[in-house]
Structures are given as C-alpha cells and as structure tokens.
Amino acid sequence: MRELEQNQGTAGRGAASPPAYRERLFRAADDVPIYFRDYGDPASAAVPVLCLGGLTRNSKDFHRLSCRLAARHRVLCMDYRGRGRSGYDPDWHHYIPPTYVADAIELLKVADVGAVAVIGTSLGGLCAMGMAAAAPTRLKGVVLNDVGPVVNPDGLKRIAAYVGQDVRMPDLAAAAEALSRQFAAAYPDAGPDLWQDMAAGTFTRDAAAGDWRLDYDLTLGEAVRAQAAQPVPDLWPLFRALGPLPVLAVRGALSDVLDEATFERMAVEKPDLVRLLLPNCGHVPLPHLEPMQGAIEAFLERL
C-alpha cells in the first residue's frame, strides 16, 4: 500500500500522556507523500470518520473534534498534498479536487477502512461529493460544512485574492492579531483563544528564516486563479450523487461562499437533507464549537 511510516503524536499533551493520534504517511499514486492523523481505536465498531479540510487548511483544524469523536470512532484527518505535513506537488496543476479525491480514496486503502462518514469543510465538502460520484461504496454519510454545488462568486473572488501570498509573521501572537483583522466579519463573536488556535493551524515555523510562514505551498494560488478563470462547472450532478446517503449540511448565516438560495435548493433537491444554520457566523463554521459539534455527533450516531 506504499505506506512509509507510522509513529505516535502526542499533540502537545506531554511526554507521559497517552498519544492523541498516530501520525502516518503514504505515497500517492504519483509518489507525492500524503500525511494523515489517525485517532481512536482501529477496531471500533462505530462508523469511521474521514475529515477533509478547507482550501489552505490541514489536519490541525480537526484536532479538538477528533479527540472528542475518538472516544467512539476511528477518525482519519488528511493533509491535502501541498498542505501541512504532506509533500508539495512539483506541478501546481495537480492541485485540483479530482487529485484530492484520488488521494483520499488511496488513504482509505492504506488505513484498511471500507466505508466512512466524511466531514468536509468547504473544499472538503466538494471532495466528499466527488467521492460519492467516484467511489460511492466508500461512503456511509457526509457532513457538508458551508459548501454546496454552487460557490458564491463573491466568496470565490475573496479567497482567490489572498491565496498564495507569502505572508510572514514574527510570532503566533502577531499572526493571531492579523487573522482577527482579516476574518473579523466571519467570526464577529470570536475571542482571543479562537484567533490563537486559528494562527497555530494557519502558520508553521520557518527555522531557516526565523519567522512563521503559511503552512501550505504558495503555488496553490496559481492553481486557484487558473481554476477561477475557467467557466464555472455545474456541480449539481455531484450533489445528486449524495442522494442515497445521509447528509448533514451546515451553513454560516453570514457565509459568502454558500448562499441562502443554494442552501434552500439543496433541501429541495434532497428532501431528507438535515440542515443546520448557524447565526452570526461566516465562512467557515468551526466544527469543534457548539452547536455544530453536537449536531455532528448526533448525525454520526444515526449512521
């Protein structure tokens, strides 16, 4: 299965503490190293969970939720190629959803998992829809976090404007302050702890430069702008591929990516869709916060 390593991650819990997750790495079909975290008991009878993050995000975003779910579920959190601890692809043209879908399916093979519930944030939700079309037997259910088959052009334009910029920070405190200014409209109720957590998940230490850099391959910006210049694809067929599956759709009421009209049409297209609207929250709702965490746990209980 081309697995390279398996070791223990303590996730900052202290050397004497039980590990929060296992760190694993495998080679994708084109030899790019793909990293993932493996939480919980592999022998658990509960449905396994696969967490797929947003465009520039990584497995760190799901740590708190995964620790909570791991009491019952095995939870796998993948770093897309070009993000976090996965390898950077030498060709940015490969930074597209079909590649991520193929990597996710390969991860399930490496982890010896049959079918999973996918928690997909933004891009991760699009990948979940892609998995439903490409490998429907691999899915037991899907959580779509602030994403649907239509991406609001305003949100896409906002994201494309900042992805790929070489942002540097002297420390995580400065990073938290910068993020609080950039994303204040999406999280109007956020306090210092949220911004500190977000900074730790967004930046990584650059020892050579002596500062903190964004934790992804900056050529991702080239891929995003190239995709944004193309005609918008019709993703409703991918959404309809979810038809037989239980699906929880979450929308932040202030979201500029998943608009209200699309959220309503999703319920028309899939009458059994379970929906959660989170007030005073933009793109994207954070899955470890209530009431979303509770909604995810209740959804998984029904699978």
Domains in the chain, CATH or no CATH each = 3-154+233-301 (3.40.50.1820)
Query: Which residue bears the tokens 């010896």?
Result: 112
Query: Which residue bears the tokens 């993948």?
Result: 78
Cα dihedral angle (127, 133, 137, 143), rounded to 10 degrees?
40
The DSSP element (H or E) to which 296 belongs, if any, is helix 292-301
Cβ neighbours for 153, distance < 8 A, ≥ 6 positions apart: 232
Read off the pTM. 0.94
Beta carbons of 47 and 38 less than 8 angstroms apart = no
Cβ neighbours for 105, distance < 8 A, ≥ 6 positions apart: 131, 134, 135, 138
Cβ neighbours for 238, distance < 8 A, ≥ 6 positions apart: 126, 129, 130, 132, 133, 149
Beta carbons of 252 and 278 less than 8 angstroms apart = yes
Other CB atoms within 10 Å distance of the CB of residue 154: 11
Query: Which residue bears the tokens 């020892």?
Result: 207
* Residue-level pLDDT at 18: 66
- CA 56 to chain CA centroid, Å, is 9
For residues 155 and 232, what is the distance between their CA atoms, to the nearest angstrom? Answer: 14
**The residue type at 285:** P
Beta carbons of 206 and 162 less than 8 angstroms apart = no
* Residue-level pLDDT at 11: 44
Query: 116 φ, ψ to 5°?
Result: -135, 165
Residue-by-residue pLDDT tens, the chain, 303 positions: 444 444 545 444 444 566 799 999 999 999 999 999 999 999 999 999 999 999 999 999 999 999 999 999 999 999 999 999 999 999 999 999 999 999 999 999 999 999 999 999 999 999 999 999 999 999 999 999 999 999 999 998 899 899 999 999 999 999 999 999 999 999 999 999 999 999 999 999 999 999 999 999 999 999 999 998 888 899 999 999 999 999 999 999 999 999 999 999 999 999 999 999 999 999 999 999 999 999 999 999 999
For residues 274 and 272, what is the distance between their CA atoms, to the nearest angstrom? Answer: 6
